[in-house]
Structure 1
Amino acid sequence: MIARELMTRDPVSISPQASVLEAAETMLRHRISGLPVVDSSGALVGMVTGSDLMRRAEIATGLRRSGFSEFQAGEERLAADYVRAHGKRVQHVMTGAPFVVPESASLEAIVDIMDRHNVKRVPVVDGRKLVGIVSRTDLLRALVEAVRHAPSESCGDREIKQRLLSIYTLESWAPLANIDVSVKDGNVEITGTISSEAQRAALIAAAESIPGVNCVTDKLVKTQISSARSPF
């Protein structure tokens, strides 16, 4: 899946000359927490989000610094803080140069941007022109569609075990040398030792992900000894 297939087309946007009040009202009206900022030619120039409007003089939440903190921030940062709290136009509070993707961007690339830069939405552009936006809500829709339309299949006991051992072989967290897997009538039993509860959860999740598995019986024992992987 790529951005073109997932994005919301013609997203609600706002002008950099619009007021902060208009931006807040627009977000409330459309029940969204962020807006692309576009100029008169349709080019993307920034993003304004609810977090950009948290530190405002109108609600007495402007960032206050004192003493060493004020000295450390420096005049440029202090001036920027003042503008963010008191500026009346979107251009004063928006985040410029947002992270963007082309229509051909993969879903993986979009999620990487969201995860790495802690953003909730990524604008999609054609050159500089805004053509869409991918939000976390769009990702949830993609997840639902993927699960609902996944091909139905059911593996037999032998294939279940082969698939599960293949997963464990590929994953560095799996303590291959310390565990054993048996499968009967679609019921998976995992025995052995682990060094963390995270390992337990991952071993079980891997088993549950295989079509044809009815249930997973956990007979794993947590120890303080580091788990080892088989060298073979």
Structure 2
Amino acid sequence: MTKVRDLMTSMPQTIGFDISVEKAQTMMKEYACHHLPVLDGGKLVGVLSDRDLSMARHGSANIKNEQLVMDLMTDTPIVIDPSAEISTAIQTMLDNKINSLIVRSEGGQPWGILTSTDLLRYVMDKA
């Protein structure tokens, strides 16, 4: 069976919690990603998604240049073990209506991120 570790992106691009939202948008474009794990001194404190940015852009509180990542991030990212089955990851994303999971580090291996895009690629490779 395929495990989360087989599909995750190890050592994804990250951003600091005190960085501007404008910089986060630039990074997402530059690295062609939709999720940035948010760190504070190397510790995971959240995740910022393109959905967070879109909701802020189209909501009542339009993004302002001085807004920081901490103002928009999800501060309770869902974490999954790398040894979890892919079906567990999919069900977790569906249950929580999210498009990414942070993957816990394991045995000295780097942590990572598993996204809905990773899962769709996996499905297409199987088709």
Could you say which residue in structure 2 is the equivalent of 1:161?
A: none
> How many angstroms apart in 1 are the aligned matches of 2:6 and 2:17?
28
Change (3 A) 1:103 1:85: same
Which of 117, 131, 153 matches 2:96?
Answer: 117
Q: Aligned to 2:113, which of 133, 143, 147?
A: 133
Work out the CA distance in 2 between the residues paired with 1:38 and 1:29.
19
Question: Are positions 1:48 and 2:48 aligned together?
Answer: yes
Query: Secondary structure of the residue that 2:15 maps to in structure 1?
Result: coil
Larger RCO (CA within 8 A; separation ≥ 6):
2
> Quick one: distance in 1 between partners of 2:121 and 2:55?
32
Task: Please give the per-residue CA displacement for 1:80-121, whole angstroms capped at 9, x wherever unaligned.
Answer: xx5x85561111110111111011111011001111111111
Normalising by structure 2, report the TM-score: 0.83
Distance in 1 (alpha carbons) for counterparts of 2:113 and 2:55: 26
Structure-2 separation of matches of 1:95 and 1:144: 29
Give secondary structure in 2 for the equivalent of 1:105: coil
Q: Does the CA-based 8 Å contact 1:37-1:45 persist in structure 2?
A: yes
Contact 2:105 2:112 in 1 (8 A): no
- Note closer, same or farther for the CA distance 1:21–1:107 as it changes in structure 2 (3 Å cut): same
Segments of 5+ residues of structure 2 without an aligned counterpart are none
Identity over the aligned pairs, expressed in percent? 30
Report SS of the residue matched to 2:104.
Answer: strand
- Structure 2 letter corresponding to 1:25: T
Q: C-alpha separation between the residues in 2 aligned to 1:116 and 1:23?
A: 27
* Separation of aligned partners in 2, 1:36 and 1:45: 8
Q: Name the count of aligned residue pairs.
A: 123
Alignment match, 1:94: 73
Q: What is the correspondence of 1:14-163 to structure 2 with a 5 Å cutoff?
A: 14-41=15-42, 43-56=43-56, 61-63=58-60, 85-86=63-64, 88-126=67-105, 131-147=111-127
Based on CA coordinates, which of the two structures has the bigger radius of gyration? 1
**Unaligned 5+ residue runs, structure 1?**
64-81, 148-232
